[in-house]
């Protein structure tokens, strides 16, 4: 297979991975790897006139610009959950160049994840996010650093929700960086595992 591929046919979406010999539901997004490879290749006339299978040729913006933005994102191999669709949308709107929407979707992704984690401790739709974070903190569900990220993301999202955002592209990248840091700390399947012969095994060094 071409350099940068890992053997999975599906590049983005729900998948099943082998974790220490057992099957586990996961969410994957390896499109950034493909984008980086395509950017390294010499563009042909055909590739300039139409996008790859990753990106729609119907858009007026040159596919190269969208590939550049996609290549800035890290690939994902994370635990599957209801929040994964929101995370994908947050990344997709950034690739499409909709930076205001990206900040909003990152904030929504954070909120959904927090509410899902706090639900076993009594959180309902009536609770504010501040109350939800208090539940998570009291029950030590998330790392303290993750809760700090949640608070910063809520503040940034509120700025944009009320029309006060001043640097949409920069803040979209910041929001995505926070979201990916959140994933690394809490739901990234690779945080405790290494790949050996195509199977995830617990990292004995951790």
**How many Cβ atoms from other residues are within 10 Å of residue 151's Cβ?**
13
Q: What's the chain's length in residues?
A: 206
pLDDT tens string, the chain, 206 residues long: the values are 445 444 445 688 888 777 666 777 888 898 998 899 889 885 554 555 444 555 554 456 788 899 999 999 998 888 888 889 999 999 999 999 999 999 999 999 999 999 999 999 999 999 999 999 999 999 999 988 899 999 999 999 999 988 888 899 999 999 999 999 998 888 877 666 666 655 555 555 55
CATH no., domain 12-30+75-202: 1.20.120.330
Domain ranges of the chain: 12-30+75-202
Pairing type for strands 193-196 and 76-79 reads unpaired
Whole-model pTM?
0.77
Q: Look at residues 118, 54, 53, 116 and name the one whose alpha carbon lies nearest to residue 85.
A: 116
């Amino acid at each position: 297979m071409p350099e940068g591929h890992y053997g999975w046919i599906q590049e983005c979406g729900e998948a099943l991975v082998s974790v220490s010999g057992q099957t586990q539901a996961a969410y994957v997004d390896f499109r950034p790897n493909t984008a980086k490879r395509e950017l390294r290749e010499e563009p042909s006339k055909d590739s300039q006139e139409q996008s790859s299978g990753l990106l729609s040729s119907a858009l007026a913006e040159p596919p190269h610009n969208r590939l550049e933005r996609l290549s800035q994102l890290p690939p994902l191999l994370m635990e599957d959950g209801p929040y994964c669709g929101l995370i994908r949308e947050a990344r997709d709107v950034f690739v499409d160049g909709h930076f205001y929407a990206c900040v909003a979707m990152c904030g929504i992704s954070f909120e959904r994840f927090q509410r899902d984690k706090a639900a076993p401790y009594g959180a309902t739709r009536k609770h504010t996010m501040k109350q939800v974070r208090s539940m998570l903190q009291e029950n030590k569900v998330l790392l303290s650093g993750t809760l700090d990220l949640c608070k910063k993301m809520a503040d940034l999202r509120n700025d944009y929700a009320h029309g006060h955002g001043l640097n949409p592209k920069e803040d979209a990248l910041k929001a995505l960086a926070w979201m990916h840091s959140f994933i690394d700390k809490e739901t990234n399947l690779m945080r405790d595992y290494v790949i050996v012969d195509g199977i995830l095994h617990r990292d004995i060094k951790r």
